[in-house]
């Protein structure tokens, strides 16, 4: 069997096993450790997290004797579907997919599995009932991580406080889970003043504009900002600073360099962090195991890390 990447030993994942999965590729057709060809199909390489994910695939793939290409859909699901069809046509062994439209990609991925391709879903989960379109999912649980953030807010403001929410693009899985999970974690005395989602992407400038609007309407009543992404928190911080508000408890999600730096500088109170290195390492390990005739958990959850001023200097810093 191919040598497992040493990073797997450092992955802090705990695996939630709902079922086990194996590919339609019969073990008699391969020998353990045989080379394999994989395609990474993702939403857009203009997103720092997805670009970093691709770099990590390139860095780690050799440890598993897997060669890779990638398709960037630029948030056009038709391009991602074309990538799936290309993988089927050109005899790929594995597809790793982080789709922009989780509904539209299901049928193409089902066709890929029927063709004997192993399908690993990365970061963005498929809709309920589409489990037959994948061999496994590897990612974080946005709902659980956001709920933990809400619980931490409740502990920090035991006498009560007011919050506003700067959400990601409406209707996306991340936006829904981060919005719902945070509220579940809140105590009853943490009161919502306002909430608004970004209209397009995950842009810093739009988060800043939303926060400026909140400050104009609610002013000093705002104690907490729940922002769905760390780069958005950058915009929130800029708006708060311009309004003379350095006392707001600002939370972001992602755990990227901006989030870590802002936590270190005490301009951001909390970053709900994700480890894309751990996600990629687990996905490659799962694919290799299935290629070699083993079974793997269908659902693989990488816990989110609460990055605060107390631990920011002790954690591995991100590269995205």
Average pLDDT of every residue of the chain: 90
Longest pairwise C-alpha distance within the chain: 68
> For 191-249, how does the pLDDT look when each residue is reduced to its tens digit (9 = 90+)?
999 999 999 788 999 999 999 999 999 999 999 999 999 999 999 999 999 999 999 99
Which tokens sit at 127? 């809709």
Comparing CA positions, the residue from 2, 4, 5 lying closest to residue 33 is 2
Asked whether residue 135 falls in the same domain as residue 283, the answer is: yes
Comparing CA positions, the residue from 98, 41, 33, 39 lying closest to residue 63 is 33
Asked whether residue 230 falls in the same domain as residue 109, the answer is: no
The reported pLDDT for the residue numbered 7 is 37
Q: What are the φ/ψ torsions at residue 242 (nearest 5 degrees)?
A: -65, -25
Structural domain includes residue 44: yes
The reported pLDDT for the residue numbered 135 is 98
**Residue 94 belongs to domain spanning:** 6-140+275-303
Residue identified by tokens 């996306």 is: 172
Sheet with 118-122: strands ordered across = 66-72, 36-42, 94-98, 118-122, 136-139, 299-301
The reported pLDDT for the residue numbered 8 is 36
The reported pLDDT for the residue numbered 3 is 39
The reported pLDDT for the residue numbered 12 is 36
Predicted confidence (pLDDT) at residue 24 exceeds the cutoff of 80? no
Of 48 and 293, the one with more pLDDT:
293
Asked whether residue 89 falls in the same domain as residue 170, the answer is: no
Domain count, the chain: 2
The CA-atom distances, in angstroms, between 39 and each of 58, 123, 208 are 11, 16, 36
Predicted confidence (pLDDT) at residue 10 exceeds the cutoff of 60? no
The CA-atom distances, in angstroms, between 14 and each of 140, 146, 225 are 10, 18, 29
Structural domain includes residue 310: no
The reported pLDDT for the residue numbered 63 is 97
- Quote the CA–CA distance of 23 and 86 in Å, as a whole number: 19
Predicted confidence (pLDDT) at residue 47 exceeds the cutoff of 90? no
The reported pLDDT for the residue numbered 21 is 47
pTM: 0.78
- Quote the CA–CA distance of 233 and 169 in Å, as a whole number: 15
Of 49 and 299, the one with more pLDDT:
299
Predicted confidence (pLDDT) at residue 150 exceeds the cutoff of 80? yes
The reported pLDDT for the residue numbered 314 is 96
Structural domain includes residue 318: no
The reported pLDDT for the residue numbered 200 is 75
Of 42 and 173, the one with more pLDDT:
42
CATH code of the domain in which 248 resides = 3.40.50.2300
- Quote the CA–CA distance of 250 and 222 in Å, as a whole number: 10
Asked whether residue 176 falls in the same domain as residue 146, the answer is: yes
Confidence of residue 48 (pLDDT cuts 50, 70, 90): confident
Structural domain includes residue 1: no
Asked whether residue 114 falls in the same domain as residue 168, the answer is: no
Confidence of residue 87 (pLDDT cuts 50, 70, 90): very high
The reported pLDDT for the residue numbered 258 is 96
Ranges of H-type helices in the chain: 48-60, 77-89, 106-114, 142-156, 173-185, 204-218, 230-242, 257-264, 276-291
Structural domain includes residue 319: no
The reported pLDDT for the residue numbered 29 is 67
The CA-atom distances, in angstroms, between 112 and each of 59, 157, 162, 220, 258 are 25, 50, 48, 54, 37
Alpha carbon dihedral 297, 255, 154, 187, in 10-degree steps, equals: -50
Burial readout 128-155 (b: 16 or more C-beta within 10 A, e: otherwise): eebbebbbbbbbbbbbbbbbbbbbbbbe
The reported pLDDT for the residue numbered 319 is 84
Predicted confidence (pLDDT) at residue 25 exceeds the cutoff of 70? no
* Burial tier of 307 (Cβ tally within 10 Å: 0-12, 13-18, 19+): buried
């Amino acid at each position: 069997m191919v040598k497992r990447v040493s990073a797997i030993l450092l992955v802090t994942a705990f695996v939630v096993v709902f079922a086990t999965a194996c590919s339609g590729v019969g073990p008699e057709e391969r020998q353990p450790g045989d080379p394999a060809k994989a395609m990474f199909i993702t939403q857009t390489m203009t997103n720092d997290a997805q670009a970093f994910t691709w770099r990590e695939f390139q860095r780690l793939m050799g440890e598993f004797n897997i060669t890779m290409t990638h398709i960037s859909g630029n948030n056009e699901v038709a391009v991602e579907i074309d990538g799936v069809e290309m993988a089927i046509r050109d005899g790929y062994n594995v597809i790793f997919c982080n789709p922009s439209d989780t509904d539209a990609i299901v049928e193409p991925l089902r066709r890929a599995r029927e063709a004997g391709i192993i399908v690993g879903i990365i970061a963005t989960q498929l809709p309920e009932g589409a489990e037959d379109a994948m061999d496994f999912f590897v990612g974080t649980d946005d709902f659980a991580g956001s709920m933990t953030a809400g619980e931490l807010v409740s502990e920090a403001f035991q006498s009560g406080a007011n919050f506003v929410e700067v959400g990601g693009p409406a209707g996306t899985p991340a936006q829904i889970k981060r919005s719902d999970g945070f509220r579940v974690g809140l105590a009853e005395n943490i009161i919502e003043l306002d909430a608004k989602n970004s209209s397009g992407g995950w842009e810093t400038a739009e988060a800043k504009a939303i926060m400026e609007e909140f400050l104009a309407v609610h002013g000093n009543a705002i104690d907490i900002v729940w922002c769905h992404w760390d780069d958005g928190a950058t915009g929130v911080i800029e708006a708060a600073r311009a309004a003379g508000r350095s006392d707001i408890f600002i939370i972001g999600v992602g755990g990227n360099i901006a989030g870590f730096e802002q936590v270190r500088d005490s301009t951001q109170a909390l970053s709900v962090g994700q480890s894309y290195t751990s996600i990629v390492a687990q996905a490659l390990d799962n694919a290799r195991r299935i290629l070699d005739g083993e079974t793997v958990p269908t659902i693989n959850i990488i816990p989110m890390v609460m990055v605060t001023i107390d631990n920011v200097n002790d954690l591995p810093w991100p590269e995205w």
